Amino acid sequence: MKKLEQLYEGKAKKVFKTDDPNAYIVEYKDDATAFNGLKKGTIAEKGIINNKVSNHLMKMLEGHGVPTHVIEQISDRETVVKKVSIVPIEVIVRNIAAGSLSKRLGIPEGTKLAKTVLEYSYKDDALGDPMINDYHVFAMELATPQELKTIADYAFKINEILAAYLKDLNIELIDFKLEFGKTPDGKIILADEISPDTCRFWDSTTGEKLDKDRFRRDMGGVEGAYHEILKRLLGE
């Protein structure tokens, strides 16, 4: 497969056209950002780790009946994915209070929530990805009621599968962000990535943070945390 011109560059990835009209190549970068791009830095080998971790988890989810955009990994940093149009909604699933939820609602970080929380944000960097609800989604025509139901159903299913899988590796799934895409024939599938960039992973025993919070909060040991996730998931 031939890599053609770059279509898009985001905070963590570049997307390229290929000679296959139904496939793109995603290239993962080492750039790290936080607080909607206000904090910038680099995490050594982050692109390699996120590429491998995300592909591994997506393949695992596919085995449980969740359709994803992954076709095949072609290098340490590159993966061929299905061509989709991204639904402009960030889907956040929360099991334990942390981050903005704790700040917003005054729930101490680390509190187990009585019920899993599903949140939506409007995917727009210029606006700071504001939080929205179903009514906004339909008013702005970001998705149809059926599409949003499919997205919510997948989000809860992914949470269940992922949390159980990670628990066996002594990792607590605190919360995570998902993005979905629509294939040319209108099917909703999981897109973007699942990695320490988009999830909060805590060691189940010690509570140690093994994700991008170490970068956000200047905690140090960022590379080590990413490598620890890679080691537990793939033994590398």
Query: Going from the N-terminus, what domains does the chain have, and what CATH number goes with each?
Result: 3-82 (3.30.200.20), 85-222 (3.30.470.20)
For residue range 44-61, list pLDDT tens digits in order. Answer: 999 999 999 999 999 999
Kindly state the tokens that stand for 150.
């499919």
H or E element, residue 59:
helix 46-62
- Sole residue written with tokens 């590379």: 223
Collapse the DSSP code of 10 into the 3-class scheme (helix H, G, I; strand E, B; otherwise coil) and give the result. coil
Is-contact 118 156, C-beta < 8 A?
A: yes
Per residue in 183-229, pLDDT (tens digit) is 999 999 999 999 999 999 999 999 999 999 999 999 999 999 999 99
State mean pLDDT over 16-27.
97
Strand 31-34 relative to strand 39-42: parallel, antiparallel, unpaired?
A: antiparallel
Scored b (16 or more CB within 10 A) or e, 94-123 reads bbbbbbebbeeeeeeeeeeeeeeeebbbbb
Q: Is the pLDDT of residue 165 over 90?
A: yes
| pTM assigned to the model | 0.96
What pLDDT is attached to residue 36? 83
Q: For helices 46-62 and 145-167, what crossing angle results, to 10°? A: 110
- For 56-77, write each residue's pLDDT tens digit: 999 999 999 999 999 999 999 9
